[in-house]
Structure 1
């Protein structure tokens, strides 16, 4: 009986302690919640003075190099090659079953091509992009940036690396802050309010990518950055059937099956994956970086094993 009484006392004491902790340390307990806090939905107005990127741009690093281009070893390529069959099989299952489990997508992703100078350009937080050997981007190239949301550190640092030797055309469905537009003017970037769609409707400021190219007399795009909040499914496959940018930096928003379908469509147009980055807050978002096979030599890339051409 005494032992039973002691057990009750212990349980009651533990409950009191737990209630006290919930009341006093509620913020700390909330942080340990399994559900991550939602990221802010609206960015702060651009303030270059307080940006880490702005501080980097004030430096004068030497981007010249005489080092030989690195190559993956033959044994590394061989291992990637023999694993590709399994990667393709799992991704095909996602397509056939319409699975909503992102594990089968993300766990099976790996670079298809080796980039010797894989670097992140722009903020190290959401908004920066992984790009292959930006130091090799040709002089006088054209860069298309679809989707800004007042986050232009990628454009800023890319032009810093390039010494403003390329022209950027930037588009977003919303008006950008004055501070953002002022910065873009200093880095050879022409910005325009435009919604990207499968058809052009000027009354709604909606345009196809091809019509935007025609408006600016652009024939070729070297770097194609796109983050258009789900509209990529409607516009990217058709666009790539006619145009082949050297590199594509794209954020895909969708279910696992939708993701794999678009990855397959991109792969079928001659593109090889060299980087991916899962969004830490929302797992239905993921950044992908591709290079076209005709641009391998220009950027020093080495093919390893292709598997995203699933069907």
Structure 2
């Protein structure tokens, strides 16, 4: 006697096929843009992860504990940069930049900086020196790449600055408990930044490096947006 397929099994199979079809349809452009098998594997791993709601809930739960390593593990990328370059050493202080070659400075800017070798500002941030003071003195209105490593000063210094000035990429070391990390990440996220790299500091258990990019700059630096992970 011939076996008759279980109708319920057929429904499950049909739903699975539709889901897979939708998945590859939605992400066709990203999949085609992957240049190597490792890039493709990474892309498929990221875009097939749990839903944004599940990731946000998981991160929120981790922020209520004292386990920093677990918190860092649950901070997922919110954007894919296929060409991340580490600027600085492999230990403390290095930061990951997205497509730095796409940040071509104006020839006049290059010439000026070559003559004066940049500008030096000295003072404890934000008590003695505000980041905005540097912008006023330099006459600049926007920043392409911004590195922040100011030993807990980031918790009060950064948010007012990014509300006033346009910044494309932020590379920041955040200090403190998981709760303090989440609070700082939320401040930055509210200003339309997405995380594209997380790199826990090997010498400071309560520190982690985060690389972020503003949504308005993603096309310039060839970044693919993903679901948001930092909860509101």
Q: 2:199 & 2:116 partners in 1: Cα distance?
A: 27
| C-alpha distance 166-287 of structure 1, shift in aligned 2 (>3 A) | farther
Cα offset, 1:193, TM superposition: 1.3
The equivalences for 1:1-311 within 5 A come to 70=34, 75-76=44-45, 78-80=47-49, 82-95=50-63, 97=64, 99-140=65-106, 165=110, 188-197=117-126, 206-308=128-230, 310-311=231-232
Aligned 8 A contact 1:251 1:286 in 2: yes
**CA deviation map 1:98-157 (0-9, x unaligned):** x2221441121221111021111222332221110001003239xxxxxxxxxxxxxxxx
Q: 2:198 & 2:191 partners in 1: Cα distance?
A: 18
Gap runs ≥5 in structure 1: 1-67, 142-163, 169-184, 200-205
| C-alpha distance 130-234 of structure 1, shift in aligned 2 (>3 A) | same
Aligned 8 A contact 2:141 2:166 in 1: no
* Paired residue secondary structure (1:214): helix
Gap runs ≥5 in structure 2: 1-31
CA RMSD of aligned residues (A): 2.7
Cα offset, 1:273, TM superposition: 0.4
Aligned 8 A contact 1:69 1:116 in 2: no
* Paired residue secondary structure (2:172): strand
| C-alpha distance 187-295 of structure 1, shift in aligned 2 (>3 A) | farther
Q: 1:285 & 1:166 partners in 2: Cα distance?
A: 37
* Paired residue secondary structure (2:119): strand
Aligned 8 A contact 1:248 1:290 in 2: yes
**CA deviation map 1:48-76 (0-9, x unaligned):** xxxxxxxxxxxxxxxxxxxx964876855
* Paired residue secondary structure (2:89): coil
Cα offset, 1:224, TM superposition: 0.8
Structure with higher Rg: it is 1
RCO higher in 1 or 2 (8 Å CA, sep ≥ 6)? 2
Cα offset, 1:281, TM superposition: 2.1
Q: 2:138 & 2:206 partners in 1: Cα distance?
A: 34
Aligned 8 A contact 2:85 2:99 in 1: yes
Cα offset, 1:192, TM superposition: 2.3
